[in-house]
Structure 1
Amino acid sequence: MADEHQAPAGPQRRSALQGHYLSGDFGWLVDGVPGIELSERRDLAIVHIDAWFDKHGEVHHALRDDFDLTPPEKLRAVELGQRAILSVGPNRWLVVEKESRDLFAAVRKSIPEEWAAVTDQGHSRVCWRLEGPALRQVLSKGSTLDFDTFGDGDCVGTILGHFTVTIHGRGPSGADVYCARSFAPDLHHWLVEASLEYGLRVTDPV
């Protein structure tokens, strides 16, 4: 029997950065080592969950039991393999994983309409993974947040440049940056320009 949550067939997904994304080394790399390594994370399934106030506990338990991760609180994120759950506000989470099934259907099966609003956002967001010793300097160019205190597992919504983003801290010098698809080409160029002085390596999409 076929997986009831198998990803539905449809048109091949096209990156919002097509025609804008160019792999290679840019700027000044010290001894060939980039201050920032940037890659687009493609083919992500992303579902937004907004729990009704009086159903927070039910949603929390459903995510923990059915997705093997305890939903974080207070603007944090948790990861297990290719899956992450990001807290993006009171009673609100993003579930993110590599696209291999119908994630929306899987979440909706666990979380009925009486518990939460569930929205498929996999086709509406673009994600960049940034890593390197200059990460905080680059992010600080476009945001008023204190990135010296931003670390592994932190998750925050902010303005980066002129764009509304969600940033998920990963390890001591890494972050995933999520942005609305319609702003992705402009933010990509901003990230490239902001990284050039530190030496930038743009890798093939992952």
Structure 2
Amino acid sequence: MRRAVVTGAAQGLGAATAERLSGDGVEVIRVDRAGDVDERVDVTDEAAVADLARRIGAVDILINSAGIVGPNLPLVETALGAWRATFEVNVLGVVSMMRAFVPGMVSGGWGRVVNFASMAGKDGNPNLAAYSASKAAVIALTKSAGKELATTGVLVNAIAPAVIATPMNATTAPDVLAHITSLIPMKRVGEPQEVAELVAWLASDRVSFSTGAVYDISGGRAVY
């Protein structure tokens, strides 16, 4: 049986992904800093992440779903502290989890890492500069790691969703949410289960010749 760690698993895309992987017979360890999960761990706490890896041992699949929106403000009104907080979760949290769990995958000769980026990381969302920049960093991180690990049996890919119906978007300013929804040619937001289906595929044996790639799930919004 494959084993997976899913961060941000208390709600939204992380919860939907954990449920979908369980349906495929994967043993899922759900991680979040709060909520009804298997392990309460803050991904920005490097020592806590290392301790998690020691306690649960090697896994086959790592899903980095934990993320925050960050400041909903024009760039010049944002504070550096808010930028740091956004990058701590959205970028360094992914780095910490990969540093903790990828070595075990390499040792086993098989692994799947799926990082949650965003369409914002490709074309930028107004008044969400920190979030957009952090997700662009996740894309570059994925491409770099995918190349590094290309001959190890460990595949690293990312997904770039557009607006999805999750609790995180409840904290997005209504005008910003309306704008980014209007950019979707399908004229609707996505559902968490639709995203989870893509993640489950990327986390499986069905993917064998794709790494360092970014998969849009955007209702047609994709720009490149």
TM-score, normalization by structure 1: 0.29
Higher RCO (CA < 8 A, seq sep 6+): 1
Structure number with larger C-alpha Rg:
1
**Structure with the higher fraction of residues in helix conformation:** 2
Q: TM-score scaled to structure 2, two decimals? A: 0.27
More strand by share: 1
